[in-house]
Amino acid sequence: MEKILEVKNLHVSFKTYGGEVKAVRGVTFDLYKGETLAIVGESGCGKSVSAQSIMRLIPNPPGKITHGSILFKGMDLTAVKEPQMRNIRGADISMIFQDPMTALNPTITIGEQIIEGVLQHKQVTRQEAKKTALEMLDLVGIPNPVERLKHYPHQFSGGMRQRIVIAMALVCQPEVLIADEPTTALDVTIQAQILDLFKEIQSKTGVSIILITHDLGVVAQVADRVVVMYAGKIVEAGSRREIFYTPQHPYTKGLLNSVPRLDIEETELVPIGGSPPDLFSPPTGCPFTARCAYAMEVCDRKYPFKTRLSQEHHVDCWLQDERAIKMLASIK
Amino acid sequence: MTAYIVKRLIAMLVTLWLIITLTFFLMHSVPGSPFNEERATNETVQKNLEKYYHLDEPLIVQYGLYLKSVVTLDFGPSIKKSSQTVNEMLGRGFPVSFELGIVTLIVAVISGITLGIIAALRHNGILDYTAMTIAVLGISIPNFVMATLLIQQVAVNWGILPVATWVSPKHMILPTLALATGPMAIIARLTRSSMLEVLTQDYIRTAKAKGLSPVKIIFKHALRNALLPVVTVLGSLAASILTGTFVIEKIFAIPGMGKYFVESINQRDYPVIMGTTVFYSAILIMMLFLVDIAYGILDPRIKLHKKEGS
Where are chain A's structural domains?
Answer: 3-92+174-273, 107-171
> What pLDDT score was predicted for residue A73?
87
Sort residue A68 into left (φ over 0), alpha (ψ -120 to 50) or beta.
left
| Partner residue facing A95 (CB), from B209, B216, B301 | B209
Q: Does B191 touch chain A (CB under 8 A)?
A: no
Our count of domains for chain B comes to 1
Instruction: Specify the pLDDT at position A242.
Output: 92
Confidence of residue A218 (pLDDT cuts 50, 70, 90): confident
**Banded model confidence at residue B40, pLDDT cuts 50, 70, 90:** low
Q: How confident is the model at residue B310 (pLDDT cuts 50, 70, 90)?
A: very low
The residue with greater pLDDT, A76 or B50, is A76
Q: What is the pLDDT of residue A9?
A: 93
Residue A236 has a pLDDT of 93
**H helix runs in chain B, sequence order:** 2-29, 43-52, 59-71, 86-121, 126-140, 143-150, 169-199, 202-209, 214-216, 223-251, 257-266, 270-298
**Hey, is the C-beta of B300 within 8 angstroms of any chain A C-beta?**
yes
pLDDT of residue A178: 93
User: Is B294 touching A (CB cutoff 8 A)?
Assistant: no
CB contact under 8 A, A103 and B206: yes
Residue B172 lies in a domain: yes
Mean pLDDT of B47-67: 83
Amino acid occupying residue B204: I
- Which residues of chain A make contact with B309, given a CB cutoff of 8 A? 155
pLDDT of residue B82: 72
pLDDT of A40: 93
Fold held by A3-92+174-273: Rossmann fold (3.40.50)
Complex-level ipTM: 0.85
Could you tell me which residue, B243 or B26, shows the higher pLDDT?
A: B26
Separation in Å, CA of B213 to nearest CA in chain A: 7
Contacts of A88 in chain B (CB under 8 A): 211
Highest mean pLDDT (candidates A181-185, A271-275, B181-185): B181-185
Within-domain flag for B108: yes
Whether A171 shows a pLDDT value over 80: the answer reads yes
Residues B98-115: what's their mean pLDDT? 91
Q: What's the pLDDT tens digit per position in A86-116?
A: 999 989 999 998 888 899 999 999 999 999 9
- Check A87 against B211: CB less than 8 A apart: yes
Given an 8 Å threshold on Cβ–Cβ distance, is B211 in contact with A120?
yes
On chain A, the residues whose CB falls within 8 A of the CB of B299 are 106-107
Return the pLDDT at B36: 67
CB A315 within 8 A of CB A233: no
Full residue range of the structural domain in which residue B246 is found: 100-267
- In chain A, residues with a C-beta closer than 8 Å to the C-beta of B206 are 97, 103-105, 165, 168
Predicted confidence (pLDDT) at residue A298 exceeds the cutoff of 90: no
Q: How many CB pairs under 8 A join A and B?
A: 73
Nearest by CB to residue A89, choosing from B210, B299, B309, is B210
B23 occurs within a structural domain = no
Percent of chain B residues topping a pLDDT of 90: 23
Task: Give the closest-approach CA distance of A151 to chain B in angstroms.
Answer: 10
What rounded mean pLDDT belongs to chain B?
Answer: 85
Which candidate in B206, B231, B295, B299 is best for mutational testing of the A interface (most A CBs within 10 A)? B206
Q: Residue A87 and residue B209: Cβ atoms within 8 Å?
A: no
For residue range A66-94, list pLDDT tens digits in order.
Answer: 889 999 988 899 888 989 999 999 899 99
> What is the per-residue pLDDT across B157-177, written as a single tens digit (0 to 9) for each?
888 888 777 878 888 889 999
Total count of residues recorded for chain A: 332
Q: What is the pLDDT of residues B254-293, one digit of tens each?
A: 888 877 777 788 788 888 888 888 888 888 888 888 888 8
In this prediction the pTM is 0.79
Distance from CA of A50 to the nearest CA of B (A): 15
Q: The domain that contains B181 carries what CATH number?
A: 1.10.3720.10
- B209: chain A residues, CB-CB within 8 Å: 55, 57, 89-90, 94-95, 97, 169
**Three-state SS at B259:** helix
Contacts of B212 in chain A (CB under 8 A): 86, 90, 116-117, 120
Residue B306 pLDDT exceeds 60: no
Q: How far apart are CA A31 and CA A209, in angstroms?
A: 8
- Residue of A315, A266, A245 lying closest to A256 (CA atoms): A245
With respect to residue B298, please indicate whether it lies within any of the assigned structural domains. no
Distance from CA of B82 to the nearest CA of A (A): 55
Query: Which of B87, B135, B111, B100 is CA-nearest to residue B242?
Result: B100
**In chain B, residues 204-233 whose CB comes closer than 8 Å to chain A:** 205-213, 216, 220-221, 224-225
Q: Please list every residue in chain B whose beta carbon sits closer than 8 Å to the beta carbon of residue A89.
A: 208-211
B300 min Cα distance to partner chain A (Å): 6
Mean of the pLDDT values across residues B122-134?
A: 89
pLDDT of residue B284: 84
Asked if the Cβ–Cβ distance from B213 to A86 is below 8 Å, we say yes
The larger pLDDT score, comparing residue A269 to residue B216, is at: B216
Arithmetic mean of pLDDT, B58-71: 86
pLDDT tens-digit series, residues B4-17? 888 889 999 999 99
Q: Which residues contact A59 (CB under 8 A, 6 or more apart)?
A: none
| Contact between residue A226 and residue A238 where contact means Cβ atoms under 8 Å apart | yes
- Cross-chain CB nearest to B210 (options A90, A154, A155): A90
* HSE-CB of A253 using CA atoms within 13 angstroms: 12
State how far Cα B75 lies from the chain centre. 21
Q: Which amino acid is at A204?
A: K
Residue B305 has pLDDT above 60, yes or no: no
